[in-house]
């Protein structure tokens, strides 16, 4: 009987390995899988709603969640499609499924008592949308698969006396990330363009994403641009501008 134990163990091991390496090609395969999410994001809420029987693995940084899929710790990562596609460009062994599970709105975030600044920035966003600037920015940073990082908008606002403090987290390419030791991305360019319209000097504070909401609440920063997913839960503690990007919530898996 004892001689059977190694054989039984081998069968169990092969069975588990086969299940963990099973190729995922459609959403229906995710119902009982291990799904990496970014805690509190729209992808988190959408994943839990779509796959209530899955096992969820909480992460703070998108790169960590993607890596867990890459090494087989997770079967999938659910998040904004634009960020997932950027990850795939650098990791050809990963792929984004064609079918999205929901959509997410991305907006600027504010202290719930800063309606004055919210109205100012909404007005600036309306102007940038009306003159086509926002659409050009979406094409430049999000819709086009750039080989080299696009050039940042060249604007110096040092002459303005009033400051505008913007919080961001530089771990979410193409929205906010580091390149050649400088912070860049869609949200950084947007912050500069908003400050130009408002005639204020932009001061950027780079911090961890989980620090942004406390920084807004304590007025350490005036607003935040950092791929901020609009969710009902977040609306209870902070305010959001008019969305400036609407993106699919998609699924990243091993190819």
Domain ranges of the chain: 4-103, 108-227
Checking if the pLDDT of 155 tops 90, the result is no
Per-residue pLDDT at 12: 43
Instruction: Name the strands in the sheet holding 223-224, side by side, starting at the edge strand that comes first in the sequence.
Output: 201-206, 163-168, 223-224, 109-111, 238-240
CA distance 168 to 189: 12
**Mean pLDDT throughout 193-209?**
97
> Cβ distance 226 to 175 under 8 Å?
yes
pTM of the model: 0.86
- Measured in degrees and rounded to the nearest 5, phi and psi for residue 185 equal 125, 175
pLDDT by residue (tens digit) across 104-145? 999 999 999 999 999 999 999 999 999 999 999 999 999 988
Per-residue pLDDT at 2: 52
CA distance 254 to 24: 8
Pick from 132, 116, 77: nearest CA to 252? 77
Per-residue pLDDT at 22: 76
CA distance 171 to 167: 13
Residue whose pair of structure tokens reads 């961001």 in the numeric block: 168
Per-residue pLDDT at 177: 97
Count each helix (H run) and each strand (E run) in the chain, helices first: 8, 14
Q: Are both 4-103 and 108-227 of the same fold?
A: yes
**CATH class of residue range 4-103:** alpha beta
For 108-227, the fitting CATH number among 1.25.40, 2.60.40, 3.40.190, 3.40.30 is: 3.40.190
């Amino acid at each position: 009987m004892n001689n059977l134990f190694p054989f039984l163990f081998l069968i169990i091991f092969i069975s588990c390995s086969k299940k963990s390496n099973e190729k995922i090609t459609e959403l229906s395969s995710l119902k009982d899988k291990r799904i990496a999410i970014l805690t509190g994001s729209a992808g988190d809420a959408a994943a839990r709603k779509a796959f209530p029987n899955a096992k969820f693995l909480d992460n703070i940084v998108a790169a960590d969640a993607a890596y867990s899929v890459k090494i087989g710790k997770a079967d999938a990562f659910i998040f904004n499609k634009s960020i997932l596609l950027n990850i795939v460009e650098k990791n050809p062994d990963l792929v984004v499924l064609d079918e999205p599970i929901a959509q997410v709105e991305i907006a600027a975030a504010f202290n719930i008592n800063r309606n004055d600044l919210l109205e100012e920035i909404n007005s600036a966003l309306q102007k940038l949308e009306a003159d086509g600037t926002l659409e050009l920015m979406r094409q430049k940073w999000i819709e086009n698969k750039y080989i080299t990082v696009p050039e940042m908008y060249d604007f110096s606002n040092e002459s303005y006396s009033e400051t505008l403090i913007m919080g961001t987290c530089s771990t979410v390419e193409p929205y906010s990330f580091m390149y050649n030791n400088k912070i860049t991305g869609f949200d950084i360019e947007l912050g500069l363009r908003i400050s130009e319209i408002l005639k204020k000097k932009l001061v950027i504070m780079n911090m961890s994403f989980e620090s942004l909401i406390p920084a807004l609440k304590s007025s350490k920063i005036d607003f935040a641009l950092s791929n901020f997913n609009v969710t009902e839960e977040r609306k209870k503690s902070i305010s959001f501008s008019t969305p400036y990007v609407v993106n699919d919530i998609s699924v990243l898996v091993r190819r």
